[in-house]
Amino acid sequence: MTRRSWQIGFAAFAAVAAVLLAPGENATLPTIRMLGMAGYAVAVVVSLGCAAALPKPGARKLLIGFHLAFVPLQFLFAFPNPVPNLGMLLSVVVLAGLRPRFPRLSPRARKVWLVLHIGVSVGWLGLSLGMVTLAVTGLVAETHAVRHGAYEIFHVFDLVIVIPSVVLTITTGLVVSLGTPWGLVKHRWVLAKFVISLSIPAAAAIESRWVIELVARTEDPAAEPGALGGALVATVGCFAVLLWTATTLSVVKPWGRTRWGSVRTIAVTVAGREVVAEDTVALTLERAGGRRLPGWEPGAHVDLVLPSGLARQYSLCGDPAERRSYRLAVLREPAGRGGSVEAHALLPGTRVAIRGPRNNFPIAEAPAHLFIAGGIGITPFLPMVRRLAAAGVPWRLVYRGRSRDRMAYAGSLAAAYPGQVSLFPADTHARPDFAELLRQAPDGVAVYCCGPSELVEAVTAVCPQGTLHVERFAASPDAGPRRPFEAELRRSGRTVRVPADGTLLAAIHEVDPALPASCTDGLCGSCVVPVLDGIPDHRDDVLQPHERDRTDLIYPCVSRARGDRLVLDA
């Protein structure tokens, strides 16, 4: 199912929900019903409008923001009618399908959001106990005044305190989990808390209607709450249990750090091998039984684990919509470390493994894009230009190689995109004037460079700060002094010493051998660790040039500390 069809499907649901929420005669909570009708009417317009505009980045960004805001709003709409509970679930599914990439919060913003989330959540714990007390009081009270008063106070709690608290809890929880290194999709205990937070509103909508009925029923001094009062006690009791369970998960953090997509190894088979240029082969990899592979976005790479046990990183250059297979292109380098030679020897039917995918080189939000490729550095750009071409976004590709017969996909690119692809074989053309290319580029252009170090350095020298996005074949030379320092591993409760001739990764592995690591050269990004305090000395090639001042993470295989100490979430 395509992302466009998801939006059309949600628009159809929103149209039905708007009709069902229409306030009729004697309908409960008419104001909320009117708000729900208006909200779902807006959802129809946004969903259909963005469906027509996809896959343009602006439409995708608007949809992500809309559904993030619409999840807690639908909780409010569910009080008079349970249908919006299904809408909350559909919004979450749509969000997951859009695969949003959330920027990390700064340390100060993280603390502000975390304080808000903890404060609201602690308040919820007290509210849940108060609601249980009121429900039990209404059920067992011997006098009419106490019984009716308990349900009236409960109803006030629902309208004035519970609804805003739930909306704030879900909103702040989403911001904290998606905007911090311990994220929603990296820790199963955070995901469990999110499921709990969505299940409570679904039941709360039913509980709210029961309270309204009990308030009306107990206006009669002779009336008893009956089975409905017992059901209310059981429901709010479950609320309290779920909330305390979520609190326990936050403290205990069971299952540890899962790092989904970083350490999972998938067995695949070489389904096809094609020579696409001199010394370059394209490998097609499939899972047994034709099972689907993890989704990915242009710019992503995988670790290819060869039969010898060697692991090497290769960009995915096929179609992200094709989930039955992955496609990699490998340049044979006889003077390399042996991985490319072994990969070239793979024949159809050979079993290998992959880890990932990971994406350290995504398409940026920009009005125009300039790609500069050197040799096999063309591979990450293949799905990028296809995506931008389909979206009608302006782009240009400058492709440099040793000779035309060694430039993979050069002919097909030039034929498919005449006027947008410029080929510069070194045996017939001088190296392009990168400074002139940038002067001719539109304002706000995003520049991407992938290729040998000489090419990357030449482009970096003339590219303005903040516009360049780089992916390298090989690690940059380690620069700067190597001083010893300490690293406190806050999660493990240990402090390790990193010697001048050792790495932070090796020191962490003495305490936590399960920390993922693949290339160990600062290229793949698999070993990333959140930084809680201290200033990292970034020596990796994962962070882009405009990200070198980040203090919230470190790649410990090559990076170090600028001072004497770091505090890590490890």
Chain mean position to CA 304: 23
Give the residue carrying structure tokens 């004497």.
564
Of the pLDDT bands very low, low, confident and very high (cuts 50, 70, 90), residue 258 is very low
Q: Which is higher by pLDDT, 108 or 539?
A: 539
Amino acid at 124: W
Cα distances (Å, whole numbers) of residue 51 to 32, 63, 286, 464 = 28, 9, 31, 35
Structure tokens at 290: 């034709």
Span between the terminal Cα atoms of the chain, in Å: 38
- Asked if residues 317 and 331 have their Cβ atoms less than 8 Å apart, the reply is no
- Using omega within 30 degrees of 0 as the cis cutoff, is the peptide bond preceding 357 cis? yes
Least confident range from 126-135, 157-166, 430-439, 496-505: namely: 157-166
Q: Inform me whether the pLDDT recorded for 338 exceeds 60.
A: yes
Look at residues 467, 459, 458, 483 and name the one whose alpha carbon lies nearest to residue 544: 467
What is the residue-averaged pLDDT of the chain?
85
Can you tell me the mean pLDDT for 192-208? 72
Q: Please work out, in degrees rounded to the nearest 5, the angle formed at the alpha carbon of residue 403 by the alpha carbons of 401 and 408.
A: 65
**CA-based max dimension of the chain:** 99
Q: Inform me whether the pLDDT recorded for 103 exceeds 70.
A: no
Can you tell me the mean pLDDT for 391-416? 95
- Dist CA 328 CA 344 (whole Å): 11
pLDDT of residue 40: 93
pLDDT of residue 260: 35
Cα distances (Å, whole numbers) of residue 334 to 352, 493, 508 = 21, 46, 34
Amino acid at 201: P
Least confident range from 195-209, 218-232, 517-531: namely: 195-209
- Asked if residues 293 and 550 have their Cβ atoms less than 8 Å apart, the reply is no
Look at residues 350, 361, 432 and name the one whose alpha carbon lies nearest to residue 397: 432
pLDDT of residue 424: 96
Chain mean position to CA 265: 20
pLDDT in tens, 437-454: 999 999 999 999 999 989
- Dist CA 21 CA 29 (whole Å): 10
C-beta pairs of 222-229 under 8 Å, 24+ apart in sequence? 225/138, 225/139, 225/147, 225/151, 229/135, 229/138, 229/139
pLDDT of residue 180: 55
Q: Inform me whether the pLDDT recorded for 436 exceeds 60.
A: yes
Q: Inform me whether the pLDDT recorded for 330 exceeds 90.
A: yes
- Dist CA 563 CA 216 (whole Å): 67
Q: Inform me whether the pLDDT recorded for 257 exceeds 50.
A: no
Instruction: Please enumerate in sequence order all residues whose Cβ is within 8 A of that of 400, keeping only pairs 6 or more positions apart, or say none.
Output: 372, 373, 374, 375, 424, 425, 426, 431, 432, 451, 455
Look at residues 397, 443, 439, 403 and name the one whose alpha carbon lies nearest to residue 419: 397
Model confidence pTM above 0.75: no
Of the pLDDT bands very low, low, confident and very high (cuts 50, 70, 90), residue 100 is low
Of 49-63, 71-85, 299-313, the range with the highest mean pLDDT is: 299-313
Amino acid at 162: V
Reduced 3-state DSSP string for 327-362? EEEEECCCCCCCHHHHHHCCCCCCEEEEEEEECCCC
pLDDT of residue 262: 41
b/e map 380-396, b = 16+ CB within 10 Å: bbbbbbbbbeebebebb
